[in-house]
């Protein structure tokens, strides 16, 4: 592996395409090793402190399992379990956890919390989802796209349409897809489209890496896309807007079999999950032959194994099989 310049994993934008490709390569090796029941104990004797301000199935289970498979341990810390935000500052929490654990993972309501922990921690801090980003999900998504590349296509050839609200998954996919030279489309009602700041970041990626960005409310833009992506129409803290949001998105921006057919007969369906079937997508699409949602979920584990190794083995220079 190339030595990471940055010790934290807060934003995919902090990493070059080459850095992310190195992590993807490591994911491939570790996934193979797991299949062979021969995962090297590269996190042996180490622990990851896992702070969760919000519920989680995939992120929690994948990190805890990844740490265990690699010979280490994950500690689940909900707001009820620790003093963070009540009796103890971010600074003291980051410094204390750094004295005992080797990695800190935090799923937070506000990006400032995970950034604050990183500022004071002396061990790598991983963003396990915040209000505008979901970087560990991105590693799983990019890897799943690679695993399911249409015949004869490269990552740069893909057109990915994210249909719905400008969520944290939408923003991060916008950044990652344009970084990998893809055409990324955000298709959603004007009120819920990606803000200009995100579009500016993606535009910079397009300039550097050759991607393309389209932001539109025209659902017909799914035509010819390789991948359709859905996400929730509302999230924690947006419950008061629920009715208005559902009325705006449904039925126009729901991924149905008809919409998949409009995209094309080989189009894939992705969703980070949890999904609310019959809202942002139908059960038929989720369980259909072009859905890769459970591969995508499994690859959360693949990603977390690689991230724990990548962030704690800065001396590894090349992603060769010898490191395993």
Q: Does 130 bind ligand CP (CB under 6 A)?
A: no
> What ranges in the chain are assigned the alpha helix state H?
17-35, 58-69, 90-100, 111-120, 135-147, 168-179, 196-209, 242-249, 257-263, 283-286, 293-312
Q: Does 58 bind ligand CP (CB under 6 A)?
A: yes
The active-site residue out of 8, 60, 107, 290 is 107
Q: Does 59 bind ligand CP (CB under 6 A)?
A: yes
**Cα four-point dihedral sign 170, 176, 179, 184:** negative
Q: Does 144 bind ligand CP (CB under 6 A)?
A: no
Q: Does 255 bind ligand CP (CB under 6 A)?
A: no
Active site residue 196: no
List the interface residues with ligand CP, window 269-308 (CB under 6 A). Answer: 272-274
Q: Which stretch binds ligand CP (CB under 6 A): 50-58, 109-117, 185-193, 260-268?
A: 50-58
The active-site residue out of 186, 226, 231, 271 is 231
- Residues of the chain by 3-state class (helix, strand, coil), percent to 5: 45, 15, 40
Within 13 Å of residue 283, how many CA atoms lie on the same side as its CB? 1
**Rounded to whole angstroms, how far apart are CA atoms 12 and 134?**
9
Tokens of 200: 């500016």
The active-site residue out of 60, 134, 245, 271 is 134
Q: Does 137 bind ligand CP (CB under 6 A)?
A: yes
Close Cβ partners of 229 (under 8 Å, ≥ 6 residues apart): 160, 161, 162, 163, 169, 173, 269, 270, 271
What minimum distance in Å lies between the beta carbon of 135 and ligand CP? 11
Q: State the DSSP string of 168-195.
A: HHHHHHHHHHHHTT-EEEEE--GGGSPP
Q: Does 146 bind ligand CP (CB under 6 A)?
A: no
What minimum distance in Å lies between the beta carbon of 218 and ligand CP? 27
Among 13, 16, 47, 56, binds ligand CP (CB under 6 A): 56
Q: Does 245 bind ligand CP (CB under 6 A)?
A: no
Active site residue 134: yes
Q: Of 219 and 293, which has the nearer Cβ to ligand CP?
A: 293
Active site residue 300: yes
Bond into 251 cis (ω within 30): yes
Active site residue 272: yes
**Rounded to whole angstroms, how far apart are CA atoms 34 and 40?**
9
List the interface residues with ligand CP, window 110-129 (CB under 6 A). Answer: 129
Close Cβ partners of 209 (under 8 Å, ≥ 6 residues apart): 17, 178, 179, 180, 181
What minimum distance in Å lies between the beta carbon of 173 and ligand CP? 12
Active site residue 17: no
Q: Which stretch binds ligand CP (CB under 6 A): 54-62, 73-81, 184-192, 200-208?
A: 54-62
**Rounded to whole angstroms, how far apart are CA atoms 56 and 254?**
24
SS3 assignment, position 123:
coil
Q: Does 91 bind ligand CP (CB under 6 A)?
A: no
Active site residue 14: no
Residues that bind ligand CP (CB under 6 A): 56-59, 129, 137, 272-274
**Residues recognised as catalytic:** 107, 134, 137, 231, 272, 300
């Amino acid at each position: 592996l190339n030595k990471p310049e940055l010790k934290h994993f807060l934003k995919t934008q902090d990493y070059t395409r080459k850095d992310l490709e190195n992590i993807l390569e490591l994911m491939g090796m570790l996934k193979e090793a797991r299949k062979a029941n021969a995962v090297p104990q590269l996190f042996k004797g180490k622990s990851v402190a896992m702070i969760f301000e919000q519920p989680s199935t995939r992120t929690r289970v994948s990190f805890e399992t990844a740490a265990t498979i690699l010979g280490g341990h994950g500690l689940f810390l909900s707001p009820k379990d620790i003093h963070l935000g009540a009796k103890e500052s971010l600074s003291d929490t980051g410094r204390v956890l750094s004295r005992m654990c080797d990695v800190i993972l935090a799923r937070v309501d506000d990006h400032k919390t995970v950034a604050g922990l990183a500022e004071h921690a002396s061990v790598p801090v991983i963003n396990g989802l915040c209000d505008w980003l979901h970087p560990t999900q991105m590693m799983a998504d990019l890897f799943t796209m690679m695993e399911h590349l249409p015949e004869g296509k490269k990552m740069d050839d893909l057109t990915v349409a994210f249909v719905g609200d400008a969520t944290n998954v939408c923003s991060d996919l916008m950044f990652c897809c344009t970084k990998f030279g893809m055409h990324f489309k955000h298709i959603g009602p004007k009120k819920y489209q990606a803000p200009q700041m995100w579009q500016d970041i993606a535009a910079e990626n397009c300039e550097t890496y050759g991607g393309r960005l389209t932001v539109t409310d025209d659902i017909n833009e799914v035509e010819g896309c390789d991948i359709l992506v859905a996400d929730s129409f509302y999230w924690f803290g947006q419950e008061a807007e629920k009715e208005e949001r559902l009325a705006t998105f449904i039925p126009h921006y729901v991924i149905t079999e008809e919409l998949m057919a409009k995209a094309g007969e080989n189009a894939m369906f992705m969703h980070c999950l949890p999904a609310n079937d019959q809202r942002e997508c139908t059960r038929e699409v989720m369980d259909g032959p072009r859905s890769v949602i459970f591969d995508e979920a499994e690859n959360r584990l693949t990603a977390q194994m690689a991230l724990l190794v990548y962030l704690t083995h800065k001396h590894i220079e090349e992603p060769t099989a010898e490191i395993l």
